[in-house]
Amino acid sequence: MTERGGPGLYQVSPLPARDAQRAAFLEGLVRVLAPGGVLYLDFPNGAFPIDFWHGPSAGGARWHSPSEGFLPTMKEIDSLPKLLEPACRLSVRSPNRRLRFNQVSGHWYGCLFRSPMKAFYALMSAPGFRWLAGTALNPYLVLEIRRR
In the chain (148 residues long), the average pLDDT of successive 10-residue segments reads 53 86 89 92 92 80 86 85 80 90 82 91 96 95 91
pLDDT score for 7: 53
> DSSP per residue over 76-144, as a string?
HHTTGGGTS-TTEEEEEE--TTT---TTGGGSHHHHHHHHHHHHHHHHTTSTTTGGGGGSTT-SEEEEE
pTM: 0.83
pLDDT score for 49: 92
Question: Could you tell me the residue ranges of all domains in the chain?
Answer: 2-147
